[in-house]
Each structure stands twice: as C-alpha cells, then as structure tokens.
C-alpha cells in the first residue's frame, strides 16, 4: 500500500512559505551513526546499553539527538561515527570521533558541557560542513519519498559530507536539508535548491531560496533575519576557504 502525503503539494513545491520555521530550541546536537530501522522517536532506536544511556542523558540535558547513516548504507559494525555540534552564537562548532558502540569514549560531562555551549574535549575538531537530509519515513512518508533520492544525489556530489538523518522538524517541508555547524535549515528542497544552498554556504553566505532559518534562534529573530536577507540579498557567515575545510571567523550578519 502506497503511503499518502498528508500535507498537500503546496508544502513541498515551495508555494507555502517555510521561512522562520527552524527549531528554536535546537542549539546543541548529538549525532550518532545508526543503520536503522528508526522508530518514530530517534531516541528510541535500538542501541547497545552504553549508547542508550548516553542518549537518555543527552535528552535530559536538552540536546537534540539525531540518528545518522550514510545514504544507501544499512549495515554498520561496532564502530560508529559520532558528532557533537553547537549551532548558536557567532562561532558554532563540530566535534567528531569514531567510537565503539559497546564502550563509547563519550562521557556525560561532554554532553553537559555541550548543552552549556562549552566546547567539550570529546573527539577532535571537525572543520568540514556536514549536510543532513531527513529521510525518516516512520515520522513522515514524505521524508523518505523526497529525502532519500536527494541524499543519494548530494552524496555523489559531496562524498563523505552527506548523511541521512531522523526527523529534523517540519516534515511538511520535505525534503529538508540542514547544514552544520551553523544549523541552517532549508526546505522544501530538490537537487537544484539544495545545491544552491550548499554552494552559497561554501562561499560563506546564506541562500534565500527555501531558507527556513537557523536552529537555535528565536522565531522573531528568524523572521527579522529573513526580512533582511530578502531585502539585502545576501547574509554573510564569515567563512573563508582553506583547502578542503573552512575557518570560521567571529562574524554572523549581513554583508
């Protein structure tokens, strides 16, 4: 039986505006590699006990927990990729490590520090952007329908930087793209708008088309920012190219 979209075509073709709809409370992020299946809630995904306990602690500290997997990949071993991210303030960051699912080198202290916006000692600095595409079919069939092919295409263009992920919020705007560490939300996007968003980010700016806002910002701030973006046509992130990675400066505002 084919799943039916409960949203309407106007949500997915850009007719309905998605501006200023990024989640306001999502500033601290925990990303854990998990092959699936993913239940309705990401935190309920079957995990070895040590990881499950960390997920529970992360939720208690107010972190946004996301399961991630490589597009098309449904098998992983004991070694899992884990990211800790902070999307707020002028200097967002990502930390990364490969951990053992049965004995992860990740402590509650790291999660508590992250929740407070403190850079934890966990892992190492991750300088490259991470592109998340929601493909969480158990939350919405539209996320799988629109998100999965988008993730596959983007992965072929940006090897090693694209991950499928669980619900990011706003599934009526599927497909949704989230760019970390800045937490930039775009949706609904197909390959064209997603490529434009990623290209703008790589040049150190925000694309206006299908921009939903920045995670961790109050809705009023997102609305004001979007209005300035539309009027000025550019929003600088203060990024500068440095080889294959990016150096982040203390700047986030209009050019």
Whether 39 is in a domain gets the answer yes
Query: Across-strand partners of 184?
Result: 179, 214
Contact 240, 204 (CB under 8 A): yes
Mean pLDDT computed over 189-200 = 97
Q: Taking 80 as the threshold, does the pLDDT of residue 10 lie above it? A: no
Whether 121 is in a domain gets the answer yes
Tokens matching residue 190: 């197909």
Q: What is the pLDDT of residues 200-236, one digit of tens each?
A: 999 999 999 999 999 999 999 999 999 999 998 778 8
pLDDT at 116: 96
Bridge-based pairing state of the strands 64-69 and 28-33: parallel
What predicted TM-score, i.e. pTM, was given to this entire model? 0.91
What lies within 8 Å, CB to CB, of 206 at 6+ separation is 184, 200, 229, 234, 235, 237
Bridge-based pairing state of the strands 79-86 and 64-69: unpaired
Q: What is the pLDDT of residues 85-135, one digit of tens each?
A: 999 988 899 999 999 999 999 999 999 999 999 999 999 999 999 999 999
pLDDT at 4: 58
Whether 200 is in a domain gets the answer yes
Whether 1 is in a domain gets the answer no
Whether 150 is in a domain gets the answer yes
- Residue 181 is part of which domain span? 7-255
What lies within 8 Å, CB to CB, of 178 at 6+ separation is 131, 132, 133, 134, 165, 168, 184, 185, 186, 215
What total number of domains does the chain contain?
1
Q: What is the pLDDT of residues 139-157, one digit of tens each?
A: 999 999 999 999 999 999 9
Mean pLDDT of the chain: 89
Whether 240 is in a domain gets the answer yes
- CA dist 132 and 108 (Å) reads 25
Confidence label for 8 from pLDDT (cuts 50, 70 and 90):
low
Whether 2 is in a domain gets the answer no
Mean pLDDT computed over 55-62 = 97
Q: Taking 90 as the threshold, does the pLDDT of residue 178 lie above it? A: yes
Q: What is the pLDDT of residues 26-58, one digit of tens each?
A: 999 999 999 999 999 999 999 999 999 999 999
């Amino acid at each position: 039986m084919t799943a039916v979209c409960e949203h309407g075509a106007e949500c997915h073709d850009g007719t309905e505006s998605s501006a200023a709809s990024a989640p306001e409370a999502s500033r601290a992020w925990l990303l854990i590699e998990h092959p699936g299946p993913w239940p309705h809630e990401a935190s309920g995904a079957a995990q070895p006990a040590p990881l499950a306990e960390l997920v529970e602690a992360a939720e208690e500290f107010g972190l946004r927990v996301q399961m991630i997997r490589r597009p098309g990949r449904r098998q992983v071993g004991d070694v899992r990729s884990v990211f800790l991210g902070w999307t707020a303030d002028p200097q967002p960051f990502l930390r990364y490590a490969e951990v053992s699912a049965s004995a992860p080198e990740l402590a509650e202290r790291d999660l508590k520090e992250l929740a407070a916006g403190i850079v934890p000692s966990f892992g190492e600095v991750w300088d490259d952007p991470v592109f998340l595409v929601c493909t969480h079919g158990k939350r919405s069939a539209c996320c799988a329908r629109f998100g999965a092919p988008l993730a596959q295409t983007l992965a072929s263009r940006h090897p090693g930087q694209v991950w499928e992920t669980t619900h990011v919020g706003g599934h009526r705007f599927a497909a949704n793209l989230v760019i970390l560490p800045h937490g930039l939300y775009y949706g609904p996007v197909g390959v064209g708008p997603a490529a434009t968003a990623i290209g703008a980010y790589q040049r150190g700016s925000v694309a206006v088309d299908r921009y939903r806002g920045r995670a961790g910002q109050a809705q009023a701030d997102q609305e004001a920012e979007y209005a300035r973006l539309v009027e000025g046509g550019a929003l600088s992130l203060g990024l500068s190219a440095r080889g294959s990675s990016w150096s982040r400066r203390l700047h986030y505002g209009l050019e």
